[in-house]
Amino acid sequence: MLTATYTLVALSVEQANVRLSVLSFQKYVQSTLTRQQSLTLAQLEYACETLERLYQACSWRKVELYLIPALRQATQRADQLLDELSRLNGLALDVVRRLKDRAAPRHEEGGDPGQDPQIAHVATFCEAIDSFCTTLLQRLEKEEKELFAIARSAICGDAWFAIANKLLAHDAQVAEARRSGTDDATVISLVPRLAPPAEPVDAIDVRMPAVRARARALPRVAGAD
């Protein structure tokens, strides 16, 4: 059981790092973007890029790559929980896919008739980001409180050794890639770039940044198109 304990501790450290990144970005949006009447192109591009990078970071966690596959092989007790985690993942992905459309002008849609359309749009944009962050945080919490508990009792000793070896190999590969300068998966920067003078939201066409060649392609969600 020591191997299981050490493995879960290592996974918890990774969870904490991802949680910190999500919380930092959420705080940036709440303390900066929500107080503005319009957003600059740089701010919108930064928000889109950071959302996608956070989603990709969650998709490439060791929990996703190694623990969940091992748990699926070991037991069916976690099937309902895994379905719920997949649902949360789909909600987060839906926000990423809809963000470009959310950033387009929507003067004719909803909102308080007495409210400036730019202010209403900024609020909608920030609410979508907050929903994304909240969803990822809910998933991380469920994994730590529920998934880890099931894994500890359901996965056998040999499987824990196999997971631990994969984690060590994963870390060694990442460290070597960084030393050689071939790793393009940089640490998520949560400090916004210097932005040009503010432009009205309705004058901006936001483009989602291209996914890096080595990154996993975003899965298609039914009805997303």
Mean pLDDT, range 21-46, rounded to an integer: 89
DSSP string over the chain: -HHHHHHHHHHHHHHHHHHHHHHHHHHHHHHTGGG-SS--HHHHHHHHHHHHHHHHHHHTSHIIIIIHHHHHHH-STTHHHHHHHHHHHHHHHHHHHHHHHHHS--TTSSS-TTS-HHHHHHHHHHHHHHHHHHHHHHHHHHIIIIIHHHHHHHS-HHHHHHHHHHHHHHHHHHHHHHHHT----PPPP-SPPPP-S---GGG----PPPPPTTSPPPPPPTT--
The answer, yes or no, to whether residue 33 has pLDDT greater than 80, is yes
Question: Residue 63: its pLDDT value, please?
Answer: 96
The answer, yes or no, to whether residue 191 has pLDDT greater than 70, is no
pLDDT digits (tens, 9 = 90+) for 8-28: 999 999 999 999 999 999 999
Give the global pTM: 0.74
Q: Which domains does the chain have, with CATH numbers?
A: 2-180+188-203 (1.20.120)
The answer, yes or no, to whether residue 2 has pLDDT greater than 80, is yes
Question: Residue 119: its pLDDT value, please?
Answer: 57
Mean pLDDT, range 106-120, rounded to an integer: 47
